[in-house]
């Protein structure tokens, strides 16, 4: 697999985002995309197998059961672009179904080089698939793929695992509208969305007994230590998962267990933490089935079909660009 690597100054952007997020007044925050370095991507793979995290298994069941139906609804020929592919394990079902009818080009778009490498290893044995990975932000990667589409070719964009839930609701619709702007009428978007469920079930999924999600979250501070010459003492921070009822989301934070000062040399800042103060690192919004139809319409798509898992409330939605 050829990988088009990030050429921009990623280290500079990381330092400047860390500086902005940790020096802002009020709630400190860090963009969730930085959770995924090589350690973070490996830990996310483990999370996806935890008994508490039913989301990935639900997504996978729906794709396995309905891959042929999904593919039958697409006008061909089709090239597949996946935004934030991770290891790509679940994507196998869609690619295998498509490859039964055509040679298929598959373009995973990822900011994590480790995830791209896992994805290539996972899917390269499929007959009639050509994989070309893009180490890019979602929309930059999609723009590049769309710019090189062949005459008459349709795009199927995959955005699985309810990664859309990392955006707040208005930003999620704006993001889908950006995707729509890059697509042509008749192109498709397969969108995985985690549905609302009891708070205890949601909290357990983001705060597992084994502590893998805690390690995934704390690794962000370890990454800042490694890459930005910071001196976070990881033992003085704790993983916190909490429900935000108003936003209908679960939030991950890193809470300072005491008053302390941390220095991030490459970002040229010293940060004061009060005891109990947190850094907000990720949100995962949960949806109702009806609001997904509305989100799709607001972003310029029509919802062609929706499949819902019967074990873990999760919906796979096939959207068509209007």
How far apart CA 75 and CA 154 sit, in angstroms, is 7
User: Phi/psi of residue 238, each to 5°?
Assistant: -130, 145
Number of residues engaging ligand SAM in binding (CB under 6 A): 19
User: Phi/psi of residue 3, each to 5°?
Assistant: -120, 120
How far apart CA 173 and CA 181 sit, in angstroms, is 12
Between 141 and 180, how does the x/- string for binding to ligand SAM read (CB under 6 A)?
Answer: -------------------xx-x-----------------
Asked if 138 is part of the footprint of ligand SAM (rule: CB under 6 A), the reply reads yes
How far apart CA 185 and CA 65 sit, in angstroms, is 27
206: phi > 0 → left, psi -120 to 50 → alpha, else beta; which?
Answer: alpha
Judge contact between 112 and 172, C-beta under 8 A: no
- Whether omega for the bond prior to residue 77 falls within 30 degrees of 0, making it cis, is yes
Between 62 and 81, how does the x/- string for binding to ligand SAM read (CB under 6 A)?
Answer: --------------------
Which residue number, 115 or 262, has a Cβ lying nearer to ligand SAM? 115
Which residue number, 204 or 271, has a Cβ lying nearer to ligand SAM? 204
Asked if 110 is part of the footprint of ligand SAM (rule: CB under 6 A), the reply reads yes
Asked if 56 is part of the footprint of ligand SAM (rule: CB under 6 A), the reply reads yes
Asked if 194 is part of the footprint of ligand SAM (rule: CB under 6 A), the reply reads no
Which residue number, 47 or 296, has a Cβ lying nearer to ligand SAM? 47
Asked if 217 is part of the footprint of ligand SAM (rule: CB under 6 A), the reply reads no
- Residue 262 Cβ vs ligand SAM, minimum distance, rounded to whole Å: 24
* CB under 8 A, 24+ apart: contacts of 16-20: 16/267, 18/224, 18/228, 18/264, 18/267, 19/264, 19/267, 19/268, 19/269
- Residue 280 Cβ vs ligand SAM, minimum distance, rounded to whole Å: 16
Judge contact between 280 and 32, C-beta under 8 A: no
Between 17 and 46, how does the x/- string for binding to ligand SAM read (CB under 6 A)?
Answer: ----------------x--x----x--x--
The residues that touch ligand SAM, with contacts defined as CB under 6 A, are 33, 36, 41, 44, 48, 56, 84-86, 109-112, 115, 137-138, 160-161, 163
């Amino acid at each position: 697999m050829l990988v088009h690597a990030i050429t921009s100054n990623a280290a500079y952007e990381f330092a400047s985002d860390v500086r902005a997020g940790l020096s802002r007044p009020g709630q400190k925050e860090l963009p969730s995309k930085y959770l995924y370095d090589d350690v973070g991507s490996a830990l996310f793979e483990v999370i996806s197998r935890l008994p508490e995290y039913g989301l990935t298994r639900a997504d996978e069941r729906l794709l396995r059961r309905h891959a042929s139906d999904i593919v039958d609804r697409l006008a061909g020929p089709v090239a597949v672009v996946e935004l934030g592919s991770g290891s790509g394990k679940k994507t196998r079902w869609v690619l295998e179904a498509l490859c039964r009818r055509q040679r298929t080009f598959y373009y995973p778009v990822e900011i994590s080089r480790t995830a791209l490498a896992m994805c290539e290893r996972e899917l390269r044995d499929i007959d009639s698939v050509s994989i070309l990975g893009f180490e890019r932000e979602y929309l930059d990667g999609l723009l590049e793929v769309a710019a090189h589409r062949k005459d008459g070719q349709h795009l199927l964009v995959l955005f699985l695992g309810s990664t859309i839930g990392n955006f707040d609701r208005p930003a999620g619709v704006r993001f889908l509208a950006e995707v729509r702007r890059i697509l042509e009428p008749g192109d498709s978007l397969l969108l995985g969305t985690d549905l609302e469920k009891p708070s205890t079930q949601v909290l357990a999924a983001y705060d597992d007994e084994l502590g893998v999600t805690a390690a995934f979250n704390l690794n962000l501070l370890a990454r800042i230590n490694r890459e930005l010459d910071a001196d976070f003492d990881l033992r003085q921070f704790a993983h916190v998962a909490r429900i935000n009822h108003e936003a209908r989301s679960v939030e991950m934070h890193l809470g300072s267990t005491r008053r302390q000062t941390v220095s991030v040399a490459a970002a040229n800042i010293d940060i004061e933490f009060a005891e109990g103060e947190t850094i907000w690192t990720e949100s995962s919004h949960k949806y109702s089935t009806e609001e997904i139809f509305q989100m799709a319409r607001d972003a310029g798509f029509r919802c062609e079909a929706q499949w819902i898992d019967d074990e873990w409330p999760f919906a796979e939605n096939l959207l068509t660009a209007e």
